[in-house]
Amino acid sequence: MKWLITTKANANLEELEGKLTEWGCEPTGLPPIPLDDDEQVIEVSGPANLPRKVPDEDPIIKVSPSSPMTLY
């Protein structure tokens, strides 16, 4: 399942990748997507119960399911 993980923009990505591996995730290899000056989004593949595995702690802000992009 694909997930979007919103983090603080200054998050240490190497440290975060280690945690993602512990939670059963694999980064997609795409660079982080900046949302504004203080947030970014990382896309990963991971288990269906990922939101329950990820602790609600700094630098992670939110975990959301990813969906295919559609053009209107």
Domain annotation covers residue 12: yes
Please choose, from the candidates 18, 65, 30, 59, the residue with its C-alpha nearest in 3D space to the C-alpha of residue 46: 65
CATH number at residue 37: 3.30.70
- Structural domain count, the chain: 1
Cβ(15)–Cβ(7) below 8 Å? no
- Which pTM value belongs to this model? 0.86
State the residue range of the domain holding 7: 2-65
Q: Which two tokens stand for residue 42?
A: 């990382």
Digit-by-digit pLDDT tens for the chain (72 residues) are: 999 999 999 999 999 999 999 999 998 889 999 998 899 999 999 999 999 988 888 899 999 999 877 777
Domain annotation covers residue 72: no
Domain annotation covers residue 71: no
H/E segment holding residue 68: none
Q: Characterise 27 by phi-psi region: left (phi > 0), alpha (psi -120 to 50), beta (else).
A: beta
Q: Which two tokens stand for residue 53?
A: 């595995």
